[in-house]
Amino acid sequence: MIKFIFITILIVFSAINSYSQDASNIAKELLSEYNKINTFQSDVSIKIDISYLNAPEKIGKIYFKSPNTTKVDIEGFSMLPKQGTGNFIGELLKLKSTVISLGKEKVNNIELTHLKLIPNESKDIVLVDMYVNENKMTVVKADITTKDNGTFYIDIEYVNSVKFNLPSKVEIEFVVPNFKMPKAFVGPRDKSKVDEMQKEGETTKGKVILKYWNYIVNQKIDNSIFKK
Amino acid sequence: MFLKLVKLELFKIFSKWRTYIGFIAIGVLVPIIHLAMLAEGETLIEVSTRVLRSSFDFNGELINGYMVTRIIMQFLFINIPLLITLVGGDMLAGEATSGTYRLVLIRPISRLQLVIAKFTAGSIYVALLVIWLFILALGLGVLIFGTGDMIVVRYSINIIPEADVLWRYGISIGYSFLSMWVVYTISFFFSSFVENSIGPIITTMAILIVLNILNMVDIGAFSTIQELFFTTHMNAWIILFDEKIDYAAFFRSALILIGHVLVLSISTFIYFNKKDINS
């Protein structure tokens, strides 16, 4: 009996170990793909969709320099999500993490490998769920749970025309606190609208869509651009 | 003849030092608010956008001349009407106080011509005061803070592209004039009844203060009555700074104000035409 239990534990342990090794190998392979990007610059458009925020779509340039310097050059004022810009997947993979594979999942008829990354040293990121297309070695979905800013759900479409893992479209969903203007600060004209907003919960969903085009990859970018 | 009358009335208005109180008050207050925004504007923006800062990094400046001008307009819109009553309340009562009514009316002009000329001259004063406010607020604002996209925080947060700002301010100037015109017309109306300008000035100020206080009362059933107050519609220019402008609400408010001006000014003209003038 003891022998049977011992063998079972051994089998389970080695299975977990091999799964974990598989997951680590996939993560390493992904990292080497994303590491190919040392610098890039491209055109970018940012569209923000939050119920209480009316902001125009912004178009400008984005510059990235490895390991984690991103600069967005947009005329006037712009807002960038805290997660999901630059080579953010590469940056996530660079974190020292425990990687576990949770098996295969079908998303939009594509078989994806579900990896769970538990960063060991990150101050902000607690957990990352990555969905990997192993055929193309790309991460097409990532759920990033942070310590202070909630969870970001990210969907990525890639540029087919370049040999690097560069996104053409990134959709980021997250939860933001609701905006509640005190009634005393609005006139009678806006009271009903404030009433409507007060009925909504403490939080609401937000979405940001980033589109990238005209990539220039791995060409020297002047440091002064990042200092602006 | 009528133009000469208006010019004469304008000369009278600008001969009195009380006319300049409004211009001086705006000339002092606006730069003070600019300085306050220079010192504390960043904090104001941070507080207004706190809910977004947990999820977003902000790039670029949100404090600019456009944003500051809107804040100044909101601050001053409660107080400028009080300055306008100083002139409006004196337009007709002032003649009675100084005993010049009969002297003016023995000249070959009709009473109607006189009262319309006075009304027109006073309206020009109101327009100049509003233009002065905008020149100072917007001009100085742009000079100190520059231009850019404009953030408007109401029941929602609107970011208006820079290219879309100036035409909104253009219409705002017109609407602000309309709002102040109503106040002027009320004080002009009361001015026709009495022989001392203190009465119409105080009465108009009292009406403004009472209606503004009643506007703050937040009782469901009361909102229907609030809709009837001209003070509710005076600040409808802020609708112009919504992402999607509710033109129906904007024009409704404008029509209500125009209605006030028409009813009160025509009432004044009719009353003045029949009034017994003994001084």
Q: What is the pLDDT of residues B215-224, one digit of tens each?
A: 887 776 777 7
Interface contacts A/B by beta carbons within 8 Å: 108
pLDDT in tens, chain A (228 residues): 666 666 666 555 554 454 556 788 888 888 888 888 889 999 999 999 988 888 889 999 999 888 888 888 888 788 888 877 878 888 888 888 888 888 888 888 888 999 999 998 877 889 999 999 988 889 999 999 988 878 889 999 988 777 888 899 999 998 888 877 665 556 656 666 666 666 667 788 889 999 999 999 888 888 888 876
Please spell the DSSP secondary structure of B67-136, one letter per residue: HHHHHHHHHHTTTHHHHHHHHHTTTTHHHHHHT-HHHHHTSSS-HHHHHHHHHHHHHHHHHHHHHHHHII
Query: What's the pLDDT at B43?
Result: 85
B147 touches chain A (CB under 8 A): no
Mean pLDDT of B55-67: 85
Cβ pair B55:A174 closer than 8 A: yes
Angle at A153 between CA A150 and CA A155, to 5 degrees: 160
- H or E element that contains B138: none
Query: Who's near A179: CB < 8 A, 6+ residues apart?
Result: A52, A53, A197, B51, B156, B157
Cβ pair A76:B161 closer than 8 A: yes
What topology is assigned to A2-227 in CATH? outer membrane lipoprotein receptor (LolB), chain A (2.50.20)
- Comparing CB atoms, the residue among B54, B157, B159 nearest residue A177 is B54
Q: Which of B58, B156, B215 to mutate to test the interface with A (most CBs of A within 10 A)?
A: B156
Listed by number, the residues of chain B in 161-190 with a beta carbon closer than 8 Å to a beta carbon of chain A are 161-162
CB A74 within 8 A of CB A46: yes
Query: What's the pLDDT at A37?
Result: 87
Q: Which residue has the tokens 């109101």?
A: B126
Which tokens go with B73?
A: 């307009």
Cβ pair A53:B249 closer than 8 A: no
Size of chain B, expressed as the number of residues it contains:
279
Listed by number, the residues of chain A in 163-192 with a beta carbon closer than 8 Å to a beta carbon of chain B are 174, 176-179, 181, 183-184, 186-192
- Measured from the Cβ of residue B188, the count of other Cβ atoms closer than 10 Å reads 30
B52 touches chain A (CB under 8 A): yes
Cβ pair B157:A148 closer than 8 A: no
Cβ pair B56:A79 closer than 8 A: yes
Which tokens go with A91?
A: 């940056």
Looking at the predicted structure, is the pLDDT value of residue B51 above 80?
Answer: no
User: CA nearest A87: which of A191, A223, A225, A210?
Assistant: A210
User: CA nearest A210: which of A175, A159, A169?
Assistant: A169
State the smallest CA–CA distance between residue A87 and chain B in angstroms. Answer: 16
Query: What's the pLDDT at B129?
Result: 95
Query: What's the pLDDT at A6?
Result: 61
- Comparing CB atoms, the residue among A74, A186, A194 nearest residue B59 is A74
B55 interaction partners in chain A (CB closer than 8 Å) = 81-82, 149-150, 174, 176, 206
- Between CA B166 and CA B158 the distance in angstroms is 16
**% of chain B at pLDDT higher than 90:** 51
Query: What's the pLDDT at B223?
Result: 76
What is the value of ipTM here, to two decimals? 0.71
Query: What's the pLDDT at B184?
Result: 95
State the smallest CA–CA distance between residue A88 and chain B in angstroms. Answer: 15
B86-145 confidence digits (pLDDT tens): 999 988 888 888 878 777 777 778 889 999 999 999 999 999 999 999 999 999 999 999
B235 touches chain A (CB under 8 A): yes
Per domain, the residue ranges of chain B are: 2-274
- Between CA A108 and CA A188 the distance in angstroms is 49
Query: What's the pLDDT at A188?
Result: 59
Query: Who's near A23: CB < 8 A, 6+ residues apart?
Result: A99, A100, A101, A115, A116
Listed by number, the residues of chain A in 130-149 with a beta carbon closer than 8 Å to a beta carbon of chain B are 148-149
- Between CA B86 and CA B128 the distance in angstroms is 15
Q: Which residue of A has its CA nearest to B59?
A: A78
Looking at the predicted structure, is the pLDDT value of residue B193 above 80?
Answer: yes
- Between CA B227 and CA B214 the distance in angstroms is 11
pLDDT band for position B48 (cuts 50, 70, 90): confident
Query: What's the pLDDT at B125?
Result: 95
CB B190 within 8 A of CB B196: no
Q: Which residue of A has its CA nearest to B236?
A: A189
Q: Tell me the CA end-to-end span of chain B in Å, nearest whole number.
A: 25
How far is CA B245 from its chain centroid? 21
Q: Which residue of A has its CA nearest to B164?
A: A56
Cβ pair B155:A194 closer than 8 A: yes
